[in-house]
Homo-oligomer: A and B are copies of this chain.
Amino acid sequence: MQNNSCGTSRIAGCQFTLLPMSDKFVDIIMGALDEVDTSNIWKKTDDVSTCVRGKMEHVFDVTQALFLHAANTGEHVAMSGTFSIGCPGDTEADAYMDGAETPLNEATSKQISQQAGCKFSLYPMGREDYMDTIYEQIDLSKHRNVEVSASHYATRLDGDVKAIFEALHQSFDSVQEKVSHVTMTFTISANSPSNKT
Contacts and interface: CB of A to CB of B under 8 A. Distances in A.
Name which of A17, A22, A84, A153 has the most chain B CB atoms within 10 A of its CB.
Answer: A153
Interface string A44-85: 101111010100000000000000000000001010111010
Nearest to A128: B126
A128 B21 contact: no
A88 interface: yes
A111 interface: no
A118 interface: yes
A194 interface: yes
A193 interface: yes
B23 A23 contact: yes
A142 interface: no
B185 A82 contact: yes
Contacts of A25: 21-22, 76
Contact of A131 (B1, B13, B185): B1
Interface size class of A (residues with CB under 8 A): 35 or more
A150 to B, nearest CB: 10
A30 to B, nearest CB: 11
A53 B151 CA distance: 13
B21 A20 contact: yes
A131 B21 CA distance: 36
11 contacts: A1-B135, A15-B119, A20-B21, A21-B21, A48-B117, A48-B188, A48-B189, A53-B152, A82-B185, A87-B153, A88-B131
Interface of A: 1-4, 13, 15, 17, 19-23, 25-26, 44, 46-49, 51, 53, 76, 78, 80-82, 84, 87-88, 90, 117-119, 121, 123, 125-132, 135, 151-154, 156, 183, 185, 187-189, 192-195
